[in-house]
Amino acid sequence: MSSLNNLSSWKDLNNHSKKILEQSLNDMFKKDKNRFNKFSIQIKDLLLDYSKNHIDDKTMKLFSQLLDDINLKEKINDLFNGEKINTSENRSVLHFLLRGSFNSKTKDIYEKKVKKGLEKLKSFSTKFQNGETKGFSGKKIKNIINIGIGGSDLGPKMVCEALKYYSNRDINNYFISNVDPSNLSEVLLNVNAEESIFIVSSKSFGTIETLKNASFCKKWFYNKSKNNDHVNKHFYAVTANTERAKEFGIKEKNIFPIWDWVGGRYSLWSSVGLPIILKIGFDNFEMLLKGANEIDNHFKEEPFESNIPVVLACLGVLYNNFHNCETYAIFPYDDYLKYFPKYLQQADMESNGKNISKDSSEIKYNTGPIIWGDVGTNGQHSFFQLIHQGTKNIPCDFIGFVNSNNEKEELHEILLSNLVGQTMALMKGKNILEVEKELGDENNYHNYNIIKSSKIFKGNKPSNTFLFNKLTPYNLGRLIAIYEHKIFVQGCIWNINSFDQWGVELGKILSDEVYDKLCKNDRSQIDNSSRGQLDFIEKFRQ
């Protein structure tokens, strides 16, 4: 593929995206009464309003040309046909099979692997729900402790929180991810061995943080139960590396499979979702899969101009590449989604934080943005100041639900009004005339000019708004799958491999080396700064 920078659609988009800034968003709405209809997409009870963006018909036309130039259709087909698009690891990318999105080329894998995996999960979950899964002392299990990091932590943790409303409140989920002893200690303080199971979740079963934490927990469990059979009964594994899990001491019947074609950050749909299943039940988990399946079909079949992940990806590229926005913010207006921005950080930044193209050349344009965010309205009372009046331009996605799972008087209406109000304020701003009118007689103020200029909002700031009917398992599945496919499309546009993560390797290797040096009090071949830090650690370490 010729470099993006040489494509005429890319150059035209660059020029047009600058030109369009001559018009404000407010003016565009005034000129075109049909703008909302034109730039919004509805799938039943799901709405994406992207009309508050610096776009016009020409922008979308140029994007459509760009998508043709990069052969997006073909790339989507390659994904769903199981081609080995993760070239650096020579792997297919098939996480969507886990939600039943197979075709004639992938049906066999679905039938032989996914279905069997799901059956094992279902039968375990049924027994668990019926209270048949008992601890060594005969008591029912009520604590599920997941030991895993990255994709083996963030997805299940996010979904367990997001779907708490649908969950069995007698079941407590705990997550040990960090190799920080404080993480583990705080969890173990809360649980007793006889009512707890440990799920060691690691696709590779080679991640040092997970293995160290799991070893510690095993020892802790043995000290409590004084019996290896009890340990065996309470430890489970989710992995693509059964042999290593067995070597670690997990019994084969307690091992749930995943496969090399499920990337860690795309794995919550697999056995990695076991903590989710135990918390919300298998039926709800199936609804999560079904919601994602609906989006898979939409992504495969819908023309690009009304294809939510595709449109979202183009808008992201617009700001990332032509408006030079470094970051992209995600604001769910639902407390249950408090881990969603964090989850998306891995999904997006580990996927698209790349500087080498698929054909091994160095990339000369911006790739993945910095993803961040928090729940509304909390963010409004902290960092929104910078979004409204700072010097940076930050595109944002607002995510809301028309109905709350917990309607309480008028609280939810206020929450929703805040969501809409914020996107309005970002776009509309407040000009000097409005401020002067609001302030009235300047003689009433001793610092009139300071107040006046502080109250001006430039506005013209873009945002997308998602509205779903309610935060249900089905809708959460849709939401996550939308972002997964958006990330894929952006990877296609930037011509990068969104499915490897070599950037995490160097730090792992150097940490091992540092650990070795720390243990041996060795300071050879080390830079001065790191040596100073190690000396300091050595001096004060008790």
Site string for ligand F6P, 167-206 (x = CB under 6 A): -----------------------------------xxx--
**What's the closest the beta carbon of residue 150 comes to ligand F6P, in angstroms?**
3
In our burial notation (b when 16+ CB lie closer than 10 A, e otherwise), range 182-220 reads ebbeebbeebebbbbbbbbbbbebebebbbebbebbbeb
- In the annotation, is 234 catalytic? no
Q: Are 461 and 394 in contact (CB under 8 A)?
A: yes
Q: Which of 91, 99, 230, 265 binds ligand F6P (CB under 6 A)?
A: 265
CA distance 27 to 5: 31
CA distance 438 to 229: 74
Q: Are 191 and 143 in contact (CB under 8 A)?
A: yes
**What's the closest the beta carbon of residue 149 comes to ligand F6P, in angstroms?**
5
Instruction: Label the pairing between strands 196-201 and 235-239.
Output: parallel
CA distance 234 to 218: 9
CA distance 55 to 19: 10
177 phi/psi in degrees, rounded to 5: -120, -50
**What's the closest the beta carbon of residue 349 comes to ligand F6P, in angstroms?**
11
- In the annotation, is 95 catalytic? no
Q: Which of 33, 44, 253, 381 is catalytic?
A: 381
**Does 432 engage in binding with ligand F6P (CB under 6 A)?**
no
**What's the closest the beta carbon of residue 347 comes to ligand F6P, in angstroms?**
10
- By CB under 6 A, the residues from 478 to 537 that bind ligand F6P are 501, 504
**Does 149 engage in binding with ligand F6P (CB under 6 A)?**
yes
- In the annotation, is 381 catalytic? yes
Closer residue to ligand F6P, CB minimum distance, 17 or 501: 501
Q: Which of 151, 291, 309, 341 binds ligand F6P (CB under 6 A)?
A: 151
CA distance 262 to 268: 9
**Does 257 engage in binding with ligand F6P (CB under 6 A)?**
no
CA distance 276 to 161: 9
**What's the closest the beta carbon of residue 327 comes to ligand F6P, in angstroms?**
22
Q: Which of 207, 225, 404, 495 binds ligand F6P (CB under 6 A)?
A: 207
Q: Which of 156, 264, 369, 462 binds ligand F6P (CB under 6 A)?
A: 264
DSSP conformation class of 447: T
- List the structure tokens of 1: 């593929």
Closer residue to ligand F6P, CB minimum distance, 82 or 264: 264
Q: What positions carry a catalytic annotation? A: 350, 381, 508
The binding site for ligand F6P (CB under 6 A) comprises 148-152, 202-204, 207, 210, 264-265, 350, 501, 504
